[in-house]
Structure 1
Amino acid sequence: MGKLIGYARVSTRAQDTDRQEQDLLAAGVRRDDLYLDHGVSGGRAERAGLTKAMEALHGGDTLVITTLDRLGRSTHNMLALADDLRARGVGLRVLNLGGGDVDTSTPTGQMVFTVMAALGQMELDIKRERINDSVSKRRAAGKDLGGRKAQFTDSQVRNAARLIEAGEPAAQVARDLGMSRATLYRRMKDTATTS
């Protein structure tokens, strides 16, 4: 029997992989065979931890993940990865897929994996569609789209423009205000058009 190679991923640096690691270790993965990615989106193709895990896999081994979304967001990419593993004689085991443990080395496991990958992609597409629809409606209604609120009043920006006209270096004026020079110029332009 081959080795179990574990892979865990979190999308932001503020998150941790502790729970995933515990689940993988409980499933029989040795700590030395555990590969991690911190602060890496599932949509990114380049993931150092996943690359190392893939390199550690040999025929007869099994890649173990806690949930399907740890591998990625795209059905196409997940299915391509599963096909690559299968071609190399490597299994894929998902600990929490559809309420249970799924192993793609079985026909049933392959079918469940394919269906769940498609559902995961559909869920992501629906969420993206809802967000885009909401933004479009808010924009059409002239409503606030959220984001960071301006920290400086138009009066402060006009005063900064006067300092620059008087010969102060724009970079220094921007730094004193706590913004980049590009942001200061953009705010000056916006303030000039609204005045």
Structure 2
Amino acid sequence: MGKLIGCARVSTRQQDADRQVADLLNTGVRRDDIYIDSGVSGGRASRPAFDKAVAALEDGDTLVITTLDRLGRSTQNMLTFAEALRGRGAGLRVLNLGGGDVDTATPMGSMVFTVMAALAQMELEIKRERITDSVAKRRAAGKDLGGRRQTFTDSQIRNALRLIDGGEPATQVARDLGMSRATLYRRIRELPQATTI
């Protein structure tokens, strides 16, 4: 029987892989045989530690991951990867898949892996659809989409001041610029040689 090679991944550097590492160790993976990608998206085709883990696999070895989303995003890529491992004589074991431990070296494990990979991709596509729908609705309603606030030049603030001096309500001018009235007044006060209101 070959050895177990573990692979863990966290998407941001602020996250840690401690839970994944503990699960891998509890499964029998030696600490020296655990490869960790930090701050690497699952959508990337190349992940340095993952690539090293795969390169370390020999005939009879098994790549162990904790959850399916640590492997990738696309069903086709996951299935192709599992088949490539099988072609090299290596197996794939997913610890928390469908409530249990799934080993693609067995026919039942391979079938469960295929179904769960398809479900994982469907879940990702549903999330994307919801986000796209939410953004479209917020945009149509004229609501804030978040992100970096627009910056205004001194010239734009002077033009706003001219509108106010010309009789436009300050509240409306500020709203048209996408800022609060208090922010507009603050920006006017900060103008070089500003005329105070």
Q: TM (normalized to structure 2)?
A: 0.76
- Secondary structure of the structure 2 residue equivalent to 1:111: helix
Give distance in 1, aligned partners of 2:136 and 2:95: 39
Superposed displacement of residue 153, structure 1: 4.9
* Matched residue, 1:180: none
Given residue 47 of structure 2, which amino acid in structure 1 is its aligned partner? Answer: R
- Pairing of 1:104-123 with structure 2 (within 5 A): 104-123=104-123
1: CA distance, partners of 2:3 / 2:144? 53
1:130 aligned onto 2:130: yes
* Aligned match of 1:179: none
1:1-195 matches, within 5 Å, as: 1-150=1-150, 152-155=151-154
**What CA distance in whole angstroms lies between the structure 1 residues aligned with 2:130 and 2:137?**
11
How far 1:44 moved relative to its partner? Answer: 0.2
Q: What is the letter of the counterpart of residue 4 of structure 2? A: L
Q: Return closer, same or farther for 1:146/1:107 CA change in 2, 3 Å cut-off.
A: same
Number of residue pairs the alignment of both structures matches? 158
Identity of aligned residues (%): 73
**Structure number, greater radius of gyration:** 2
**CA RMSD, Structure 1 to Structure 2 (Å):** 1.5
Could you list the runs of 5+ residues in structure 2 that have no partner in the other structure? 159-197
| 1:42-66 Cα deviation digits (max 9, x unpaired) | 0001100011001000110000000
Tell me the alpha carbon deviations over residues 13-42 of structure 1, each in whole angstroms, 9 at most, x when there is no partner: 000111100110110001111111000000
How far apart, in 1, do the equivalents of 2:137 and 2:91 lie?
46
In the alignment, the residues of structure 1 paired with residue 103 and residue 125 of structure 2 have an alpha-carbon distance, to the nearest angstrom, of: 26
Kindly tell me: are residues 146 and 61 of structure 1, through their superposed partners in 2, closer, same or farther at Cα, counting changes over 3 Å? same
Letter in 2 for 1:19: R
1:76 shift after superposition: 1.1
Cα distance between partner residues in 1 of 2:72 and 2:135: 25
Alpha-carbon separation, structure 1, partners of 2:65 and 2:155: 53
- After superposition, the C-alpha distances for 1:92-122 in whole angstroms (9 at most, x for unaligned) are 1111000110000000000000000000000
Unaligned 5+ segments in structure 1 are: 160-195
